[in-house]
A and B are shown apart, each in its own frame.
Chain A
Amino acid sequence: MLSYAVKRILWIGPVLLAVSAITFVVMHAAPGSPWNREGRQLNPEVVARLNEQLGLDKPLPVQYVAWLGSVLRGDFGITTDVTLTPVNDIIGEVMWPSLQLWGMALVLAIAVGVPLGIVAALRHRSIIDWVATGIAMLGMAAPAFALGAFLQLWLGAPFYDLSRAPFPAQGWGGPEYWVLPTIALAGLPMAQVARHTRASMLEVTHADYVRTAHSKGLREGRVVGMHMFRNALVPLVTIAGPLLGVLITASIVVERVFDIPGMGSLYWVALRQRDYSVVMALTVIFATAVVVMNAIVDLAYGVIDPRIRDGALADAHA
């Protein structure tokens, strides 16, 4: 288990290195530079000076190594635009709405998806099952941006003047602003959680130990909670990693739909502006979140399921 864990954690490094290198190459291979964006006219001497100041006149490998060095020291450099602001400052500002949104969406997806899946499985082939499966199906079928548009439309429809709607369709502020984007972002993960919970609950319904628990006269709630759900949880954990990846990348779109000043909106602007350092910083942050989550999930999988833990242990001793 330990050697597996160490290997799994060490593997994060090369993956992030490769992801950042690919992003670096694609960004710099793209035509145009930060200095000729959307109607911006800078005179050549200014451009030359800026390039020198930011090190953009050096060969690409040199630039990449320099970037890597400063990132390892926790510094994402200076924005590649005329304001020359430290990237860390900008990220520090836009990070919080995004983190909050991810957290709320994740909690909502689990808090709704798991009970939905359990209820559907316990009342297999009943109307409740059909309704729950139907809700999950709709979630699967609605990309985050479409769900966002639908929520704006549907919840705002009784109020022709949308500024009077209970939940604002755009912007970020008090809790009333959090409702729609959180639902939009949670839709797909919620559906996937519900589907997987239902499937794995159904699988254990007829297990011997569940029948034994019933015949011992345990209460239904205890059988479901202690015996069925604990076992159904294992496959559920495996989808948690990919789920977070979906959630994080979908937030780019959701933030744009709802005009939220977070990392997703910033990524979008930075791409258009060819702001190399901001794109690099955000890509690394997004990828780190995904890779670290996947690693945690892999390790948690071993901790939850003794069979896998012992299997890994046996492998390590062999």
Chain B
Amino acid sequence: MADVAPSRSLEAPAEELLHHRRSRGYWADAWHRLLRSPAGVIGLVLVGLMAVLAIVGPMVAPWDYRVQDLEAVRATSGRPIPPFQRPDHLLGTDFLGRDLLSRTIDGAQVSMTVALIAQVVVVAIGLPLGALAGWKGGRTEALIMRFTDVMYAFPELLFIVLLTSAVVETPIFHWLNGLFIVFVAIGASAWVTMCRLVRAQVLSLKQREFVEAARAMGVPGHRIVTRHILPNAIGPVVVAVSLGLPAAVIAESTLSFLGLGVQVPRASWGSLIQVGTDNIDRYPWLVIPPLVALAVTLIGFTLLGDGLRDALDPKLRRR
């Protein structure tokens, strides 16, 4: 009896440790890591801020982004109102008397929507094609991979600009204030990277014992891919998506800057910056709010992407 007690007291902390380790799954572990890296936290906060702004923006914005305060513009005889001169237009207005702060806030909604939906398109095209190429091999793989080679050689922005300017005169261009074609164009060019990544993941996971075991048990191929392989490839996919988000924001704002993206009366940071650069010699302050908003968003996404990559990197994971 006497020599049982010490062994128990030794066992207890070990059990606790074991329990502690078991309770932290892959995602909980990654989340914990993310919260411990300064980059990840700052990124999370900035992106969260923009996401909240995108959702509640229309409610907190002092003006509707479409409303023209004609009286105010008339008072300045058709010139935009400078910032900090009127309490109701804190950051001033554009030439049509539309509140700049409200339009910048609306831009958050545009950017966030484009970033998210473009990534949905990217995953929807790239994931199945990559999985198919990696799993099937042979001619299917050759066909898909040669096609991605071609798309990879096509300079991305060139393809996006080509695609959008081709539909400028069709009704498609104006669907959802130009947002529709932006989703399609970005998705259609950015899926290539996702496809290559998923294929590489499937190729390496295919060799693992658990897949062999599943195969030996007679699990059909499509079930092996969806139940055994893809869940294990989800980490790199999440990282790729998080790095694709700022790329999509850049693409959207560039398109809108060129006049090919979001159409009036909706505002995008790109189109607001375009108005700003056109009038930079007379009204240089017009460009500041959208420029700051864009930079904050991109820094946020980049930091978050870096943080996620470190957090989900299996090499660094505590075993």
Chain A residues at the B interface, C-beta cutoff of 8 Å: 11, 14-16, 18-19, 22-23, 26-27, 29-32, 137-138, 140-146, 148-150, 152-153, 156-157, 161-163, 169, 245, 248-250, 252-253, 256-257, 267-268, 271-272, 279, 283, 286-287, 290-291, 294
Contact = CB atoms under 8 A, between A and B. Distances in A.
B169 A32 contact: yes
A22 B165 CA distance: 14
B298 interface: yes
Given A19-B150, A30-B167, A149-B276, 17 more contacts: A19-B154, A22-B150, A27-B162, A30-B165, A30-B166, A30-B168, A31-B167, A141-B246, A145-B257, A146-B253, A146-B294, A150-B287, A163-B281, A249-B155, A256-B258, A268-B258, A286-B155
Nearest to B156: A249
B280 A162 contact: yes
A4 to B, nearest CB: 16
Contacts of A291: 153
Nearest to B296: A141
A225 B236 CA distance: 34
A26 B294 contact: no
Given A137-B299, A149-B280, A253-B258, A286 B291 contact: no
Contacts of A141: 246, 295, 298-299, 302
Contacts of A27: 162, 166
- Which 7 A-B pairs rank lowest in CB-CB distance, beginning with the nearest? A30-B166, A141-B298, A249-B157, A18-B150, A249-B155, A141-B299, A162-B281
A153 B254 contact: no
A120 to B, nearest CB: 14
A-side binding surface: helix, strand, loop or mixed?
Answer: helix
Nearest to A152: B280
Interface residues of B, number: 39
Interface in B147-175: 149-150, 153-158, 161-163, 165-170
A142 B295 contact: yes
B285 to A, nearest CB: 9
A191 B170 CA distance: 39
Contact of B287 (A153, A249, A287): A153
Q: Which of B153, B170, B298, B303 has the most CB of A within 10 A?
A: B153
